[in-house]
Structure 1
Amino acid sequence: MQLPAKYCESIYQTKRRPTRTVMIGKVPVGSQHRIALQTMTTTDTRNVQMTVDQVKKCADAGADIVRITVQGKKEAEACMKIREQLFKDRYDVPLVADIHFQPAVAMMVAEAFEKIRINPGNFVDGRKSFEVINYDDPAEFAKERELIEETFTPLVLKCKELGRAVRIGTNHGSLSARILSYYGDTPRGMVESAFEFADVCRKHDYHNFVFSMKASNPLVMVSAYRLLSEEMYKKGWDYPLHLGVTEAGEGEDGRMKSAIGIGALLMDGLGDTIRVSLTEDPEYEIDPCKRLAGLGESSWGKGLGVPAFTETTRDTHVFKRRVGDLPQQQAGEDLDFRGALHRDGTVFCAVSLEDLKQPEFTYKRLGAKLAVGMPFKDIATADSIVMREIPSSSDKDGRRALRRLQEVTTHVIAPVEALAKDPLPGAVALVSLKKAVAGGVALPEGSTRWAIEVDGTETEEELGALKKLAPMVVLISTAPGVSRLHSSRRVFDAIKRHEITTPIIHAISFPKGTMRDEIVITTGSLVGGLLVDGLGDGAMIECPGEDMDFLRTTAFGLLQGSRMRNIKTEYVSCPSCGRTLFNLQEVTDQIRTRTGHLPGVAIAVMGCIVNGPGEMADADFGYVGGAPGKIDLYVGKEVVRRAIPMESACDQLIELIKEHGRWVEPPKVEEEEKQLVGAK
């Protein structure tokens, strides 16, 4: 296999990629400075006071840079007043103009704002970006590149004269027709599109610009940034990177998707300014930004990593998931182990002795359905559980609760030492790899399978021993002070060389009292940073005292955000801005309430179509603001119903889902489950 091309300073240690400094007003962006935090206003830009107030709120929350949408000349004129008022109020936070389709407007607003964001997909091609055009003639392709230079050069010269910055912000959903015709809807097309504009900047000796490669799919986003960085290494370029997962959504899902994409790149030393795009008020984006920046900067400062090794496992150009072999039934087993793991991604939950005192509640927190007190697996039920302590054989109730789980293939994994003292029939014996290799450990009475725990510090020889041990599953529980990302990469590389096909589960733990957002952000960054490369078959999150239901759903959210196992409807929703034609938070909540029970269905909720129908690239259906009070509905990238009154648009969206055979009725909540929820 060809070794991966260089896209970061080190694949076995977190080292920040060196970049030049780009000045955005007073804020320096680059590798010699801390990560700059960004957000974007959601107000109508023409409402000067409302926009000023929101910018101030964002700055007070910790935003270093604030972006404002600028659709036309009226908005550009308002921008002059916004800048003036903020200066009068003693706020000098740099402002960024978000420009689509309007080179003339960009020239106007450059007089007021410190930075201009242009979208290579529509800055020159305009609305033609949304058309299907086939550029078979290379001369025609080159001719339109000349048009880019002609259109973009005046803005470059103006920004150079005024000391303004530019973000060349490619978006996966809005590549131009000419780029799509040559490169397709790919990371390569995103990079080439950005480079066309960068070449114009460099031709005029203008270097005060940054790149971004945004997508709503974290896997596409990570791939595009890596390719961009790889190509810059080849060219000897050192421009900073603005990181973001666009249209991430809201709540925990939005934070998880952002952490997977942004965190994965930060742990590779990439990224100089970040924005977490949430369908929430913009000031709420700053806290996850701070957490991500803190995680990246801490890792860079510590130089987290492992001894150098030659990596042969990953191909950063082609996504390919390593899929471990699922358990097969063995002779003499009275329990069915085939459901102990899941083919699309496994979730384990940690269960304590205390949890077993209320078995029905525990079943519910594990995501099981209940019928006459008996658990049954559902779409989001934990596949198996891990117990660090087991109930004694004299604890009949505790043992009965576990047996009921085992009988529905939610299996019990427990330490070999505990099982040796007091066997639990059918339990999977958990032992550290080092102890197993040292020998003298036997399967306890009543157990037929091993689970092996590794901490990332094992030798090549020890990792190779997994083949002979033939466990049902391997848990990576990274040792304290060891880099999870880099040590796990080494583990996966070793097991590939030894042709080991055992499923690998990432087990991550947090100290008691860890905030939920911290759990989500850290898990997304560290474990998601491995899953985006297809390294891992599932996850388990532990945090003493934290609600098991939260930890389980967070693990499922990690798998869904990593494009593995879908257990709920996927929403691609934009964070709102001055272009938005309806209240995104209210409408997204309305749609989620009525469609949130459709696993495997992806719905895009867009306030406008500024970034093109390509924004629906990862969605099955789209709900898009077409005009004030009017909604356009999409199937994939194709608009199928136009100008629907907003009052009936949600109903028609559901009709559309039904027409395409993707609708199921919401599941009925059994009376027993209602009583449990009420008691809780």
Structure 2
Amino acid sequence: MSDNLFRAWKTREVKVGSVGVGGDNPVRVQSMTTSDTRDAKATIDQIVRLADCGSEIARITVQGMKEADTCEEIKNGLVKRGYDIPLVADIHFYPPAAVRVVDFVDKVRVNPGNFVDRRATFKMVEYDDDTYAREIVKIEEKFGPLVEKCLKLGRAMRIGTNHGSLSDRIMNRFGDTPFGMVESALEFARVCRKFGYHDFMFSMKASNPLVMIEAYRLLVAEMMKLGWDYPLHLGVTEAGEGEDGRIKSSVGIGALLLDGIGDTIRVSLTEDPWCEIDPCQRLVRFAASYQISSLAPTPRKVALPQGGILHRDGSVFLHVTEDEMAAEGFYEAIGCKVQFGRPEKELSTVDGLILEEVTSEVSEKALRLQEAGVAIFTRKSGGIPIVSLNESLPDSGPYALMIEGEEGWDQILQASPVCIFLAPIGKNRLHLGRTLAGWLKERSCELPVIFAFDYAEVEEDLVIHAATEMGALLADSLGEGVALKTRQTLLKRRQLSFNLLQACRMRTTKTEFISCPGCGRTLFDLQEVASRIRSKTAHLPGVKIAIMGCIVNGPGEMADADFGYVGSRAGKIDLYVGKTCVERGIDFADADDRLIELIKAHNRWAEIS
């Protein structure tokens, strides 16, 4: 097991207006407006509402000179209303707008994938060393004036890499990878440092939480090697809406915060901007209460047999009471289809249940579930026994081990359980999970680990805390499933469990949606469209659909999606298969049906049963 080197790393402070980011400052919370930036009043109203909800920094999109000039009116209007919240201008494709708007805002965000380069074509282009060197010179020529002006005016900057908008130069030399994301940012950072400018920070955003986590860790490792200490803005881009969006964001942002990485965060949701502030604050509070683990994660691979009790892509177990099991609708709540009173397993049926014991009141249901392939684990009698390390192991038959602390682990090596349920007593569950995974790997022990964590929090905190802790462990390949114990209904516990596995790119049980939060560039009502498309296509497990308000990040972020729906201009939609645009300029009214036709044409459609 190796030490967690990140916990000793500290960033410098960068001032964004009057707000300090990094250094000894708390993790800052921010969001972005969705209004048309040229509508100064609407944008001011949104920023005021964000500030009143607790946003400490507000970002606005700046496409061109008109938007840049309107930022002066927005800034002055906020001051007149008594608000000094720092403003950040979001720039893509157009350097002159950045140079203009920096007169009026506190910080500018540039995307290194498209600030100098044209939109990526995703084609193979050969870059020899001379060609690559000329491209780097071009970055300095076009980016340098903005750096000089920020230095002169005392403005801050974010070099914000997006996985979905890397340049052709980066993708052809480093690949569409976390390492490519890091190098994309470093190209611009080197220019800043050459001019003696250091009031900048980085971000490494992706819609895939695992890619995002790896990119930030690589960036921090590289900065530690270089002796740099620039702050980090964390975010999972295009996370979506509702519980799914909060889970994805918590897996990515939370995993990093628990390692002491991150100075400011945004939870990007396809909802109104002010709805992002509450989950941000809950994440920050939870991370602040957590003791950073002294251990780095030790990924391990456990080969599971096909058709066994555990699912090869990640298992879901539920703690249930006798009353819950005896209740009407129990089979449906755990994901079973019922035929003639008997349960049948479906795609999102739980793999097993954990009971205190199987009593006569529920024995018939338990038997039917076992016949259907749902495992029954018990602490007392009537199912697969769960034993602690201080108890005698069964002489025969399957059993599971329950581990609550770090004592007596040597006995694990003499045991052959179906799995280990890790149910920590105490606060630092992440540390115990990493400790156990490292201990097992050092001893070449491939026993599967199921995280059996108990949460008594209110639902809003529960989703954030479970996705942060369990997500951090699952994202690092330290466990093979979850056994959530919460105060929720059975249905909600099951849904949360499967949503968590899917967010960690383990087990897919429903359609995956990648949808942006919207901004001033958005060309349609993103929330309404996303909700409508979800209602028509949510029954397609394994299919990934991206819904993008504009083309800035669309093609690239949709590289991880099977199908894409992108606003291309007013009233028009482009449809994509992967990175390839296959239909352009579809009338908005026809786009939903054309998307469904496209899915059917690629044999990915299924009728609702």
Same fold (TM over 0.5): yes
Report the CA distance between 1:312 and its aligned residue.
8.6
Q: Find the counterpart in structure 1 of residue 100 from structure 2.
A: 108
Q: What's the CA shift for 1:9? A: 3.2
Out of 291, 298, 304, the position equivalent to 2:282 is: 291
Structure 1 residue identity aligned to 2:548: M
- Between the aligned partners of 2:71 and 2:125, the Cα distance in structure 1 is 38
Q: Would you say 1:386 and 2:354 are equivalent positions?
A: yes
Are 2:354 and 1:402 equivalent residues in the alignment?
A: no
Number of residue pairs aligned between Structure 1 and Structure 2: 609
Q: Distance in 2 between matches of 1:527 and 1:140?
A: 45
Q: Give the 3 Å change call, closer, same or farther, for CA 441–465 of structure 1 in structure 2.
A: closer
Aligned to 2:344: 376
Paired residue for 1:98?
A: 90
Answer yes or no: is 1:164 the counterpart of 2:155: yes
- Establish whether residue 563 from structure 1 lines up as the match of residue 519 from structure 2: no
Kindly provide the CA deviation profile for residues 141-172 of structure 1, in whole angstroms up to 9, marking residues without a partner as x: 11010010111111111111111100000000
Q: How far 1:352 moved relative to its partner?
A: 0.1
String of CA shifts for 1:30-62, please: whole Å, max 9, x gaps: 130100001000111111111100001111110
TM-score (norm 2): 0.97
Aligned equivalent of 1:551: 493
1:523 to 2:515 alignment: no
1:323 equivalent in alignment to 2:302: yes
Aligned twin of 1:536: 479
Q: Is the 8 A contact 1:41 1:282 kept in 2?
A: yes
Q: Which one of the candidate residues 246, 250, 255 is aligned to 1:255?
A: 246
In the alignment, what sits opposite 1:215? Answer: 206
**Matches for 1:70-85 after TM superposition, within 5 Å:** 70-85=62-77
Task: State the distance in 2 between where 1:616 and 1:441 align.
Answer: 50
Equivalent position amino acid for 2:256 in 1: L
Residue identity in the other structure for 1:352: T
Deviations, residues 492-523 of structure 1 (Å, cap 9, x unaligned): 11112222222211111112xx2222111111
Residue aligning to 1:428: 384
2:300 is aligned with 1:354: no
Tell me what 1:463 maps to: 409
For 1:125, what is the secondary structure of its paired residue? coil
Q: Which amino acid aligns with 1:507?
A: A
Paired residue for 1:674? none
Deviation at 1:259, TM superposition (A): 0.4
Deviation at 1:339?
A: 4.8
Q: Are positions 1:205 and 2:196 aligned together?
A: yes
Does structure 1 conserve the Cα–Cα contact (< 8 Å) formed by 2:13 and 2:231?
yes
Cα deviation, residue 131, structure 1: 5.5
Contact 1:464 1:494 in 2 (8 A): no
* Contact 2:110–2:158 (8 Å) recurs in 1: yes
Amino acid of the structure 2 residue aligned with 1:489: R
CA distance in structure 1 between the partners assigned to 2:528 and 2:254 by the alignment: 29
Q: Is the CA contact 1:324–1:504 (under 8 Å) kept in the aligned structure 2? A: no
Cα distance in 2 between the residues matched to 1:579 and 1:350: 46
Q: Secondary structure at the match of 1:509?
A: coil
For 2:24 and 2:218, locate their aligned partners in 1 and report how far apart those are by CA, in whole Å: 23
Structure 1 letter corresponding to 2:550: C
Per the TM alignment, residue 326 of structure 1 is displaced from its structure 2 partner at its CA by 3.9
Instruction: Please report how far the alpha carbon of residue 190 of structure 1 lies from its aligned counterpart in structure 2 after TM superposition.
Output: 0.7
Of 14, 18, 21, the match for 2:10? 18
Matched, 1:224 2:215: yes
Partner residue in 1 for 2:523:
581
SS in 1 for 2:90: strand
Deviation at 1:17, TM superposition (A): 3.0
Q: Do residues 497 (structure 1) and 465 (structure 2) align?
A: no
Q: Is the Cα–Cα contact under 8 Å of residues 298 and 478 in structure 2 kept in the other structure? A: no
Aligned AA (1:38): Q
**Post-superposition shift, 1:466?**
2.1
Deviation at 1:398, TM superposition (A): 1.4
The structure 1 residue matched to 2:563, chosen from 607, 621, 624, is: 621
1:354 deviation in Å?
A: 1.1
Q: Is the 8 A contact 2:127 2:169 kept in 1?
A: no
4+ residue runs of structure 1 moved beyond 3 angstroms?
311-314, 440-443
Q: Where does residue 664 of structure 1 map in the other structure? A: 606
Distance in 2 (alpha carbons) for counterparts of 1:535 and 1:661:
35
Find the aligned partners of 2:303 and 2:413 in 1 and give their Cα distance.
Answer: 13
C-alpha distance after superposition, 1:37-92 (max 9, x if no partner): 01000111111111100001111110000100001111111111111100000011
* Partner secondary structure for residue 604 of structure 1: strand
**8 Å Cα contact 1:167-1:210 kept in structure 2:** yes
SS in 2 for 1:354: helix
Q: Secondary structure of 1:452's partner?
A: strand
CA distance in 1, matches of 2:30, 2:117: 27
TM-score between both structures, scaled by the size of structure 1: 0.87
Per-residue CA deviations over 1:604-637 (Å, capped at 9, x if unaligned) read: 0000111251111210000000111110000000
CA distance in 1, matches of 2:581, 2:346: 35
CA deviation digits over 1:618-660, x for unaligned, max 9?
1000000011111000000000000001111111111111111
SS in 2 for 1:375: strand
The structural deviation recorded for 1:304 is 4.5
For 1:93, give the aligned amino acid.
I
Following TM superposition, by how much is the alpha carbon of 1:391 offset from its aligned partner in structure 2, in angstroms? 4.2
1:593 aligns with 535
Q: Considering only aligned residues, what root-mean-square deviation do their CA atoms show, in Å?
A: 1.7
* Residue aligning to 2:5: 9
The aligned amino acid for 1:455 is E
Check conservation: 1:325, 1:501, Cα contact below 8 A: no
Aligned AA for 2:315?
A: T
Letter in 1 for 2:461: E
* Residues 463, 495 of structure 1: 8 Å contact kept: no
Mapped to 2, the partners of 1:28 and 1:276 lie a distance apart of 20
1:675 is matched with none
- 2:358, 2:366 within 8 Å by CA — same for their partners in 1? no
Residue in 2 that maps onto 1:193? 184
Deviation at 1:465, TM superposition (A): 2.6
SS of residue matched to 1:615: helix
| Mapped partners of 2:325, 2:351: distance in 1 | 17
How many angstroms does 1:448 deviate by? 2.1
Q: CA deviation at 1:468?
A: 2.1
Runs of at least 5 residues in structure 2 that lack an aligned partner in the other structure: none
1:199-250 Cα shifts (integer Å, max 9, x gaps)? 1111111111000000000010000000000000000000000000000000
Match of 2:118 among 122, 126, 143: 126
User: Which residue matches 1:333?
Assistant: none
Alignment partner of 1:413 out of 354, 371, 377? 377
